[in-house]
Amino acid sequence: MPTTDLFIKTCSHDRDYHEHCLASIEKFCTGFRNVVVIDGEHPQGYLHQQIVKLYADTYTDADFILITDSDTLFTRPVTPETYFRDGKIEWIHTPFTEELKAAVPWFNVMAEFARSAPPSEFMRRQPFMLPAWLLRELRQWCEFSHGITLDKYVMNAGRFSEFNILGHYAWKFHQGRFHWIDSSKDELPELTVRQFWSHDPIASNIEEIGRILA
């Protein structure tokens, strides 16, 4: 049977939320083999945490990896199958309009990396279920297309959007292997998490967190 691990990149800044994230996993998540937590600081923290996620398969040998953030709590029972439909990973996307291009900063980042204009914004909702092969293949494609490793590309770029890049790549090269949900017209799956913002003092959200974990 395929294996699925949960994966979290955290740091000291997220610690107050992280313990509640883990509590929500214990309460709501079943069928996952392991919870893999990568802790630590880096001078380029925002870019570095994206790199860690893009190399998540090097920290685990699971077939699938469900990536979530420390400031995100699960709110209902889930299993790996929650994020599949008809044997394919669900991926929510929103087709780009001129208004959406102006509203999000990632269109050019995605286009420059993939060397083609992205059709959609692919970073719509936490968490993200990824097959390990997609991460490996994306890194190989980066070296082939840009002549440098993906971690160096991200750092050199200065701006990056890991899940948008992954979504664009999956759409471009493996469209038939995913179940795509167009948020502009399709019914959306039920939310499975509540995403907070770790820059908010946890005291401002502790009552809601308490209700989730009660």
**pLDDT for the residue numbered 72:** 96
Peptide bond into 127 cis (omega under 30): yes
- 43: pLDDT confidence band, cut at 50, 70 and 90? confident
Tally of domains within the chain: 1
Is 90 exceeded by the pLDDT of residue 123?
A: yes
**Closest residue by Cα to residue 62 from 4, 104, 126, 136:** 4
Residue 51 lies in domain: 4-213
pLDDT at 134: 98
pLDDT confidence tier of residue 162, bands split at 50, 70 and 90: very high
pLDDT at 11: 85
pLDDT confidence tier of residue 12, bands split at 50, 70 and 90: confident
Q: What is the pLDDT of residues 65-89, one digit of tens each?
A: 999 999 999 999 999 999 999 999 9
**125 Cβ contact list (under 8 Å, min separation 6):** 92, 191
Tell me, what CATH number does 197's domain have? 3.90.550
At 174-185, the pLDDT tens digits run 999 999 999 999
Mean pLDDT of 128-140: 98
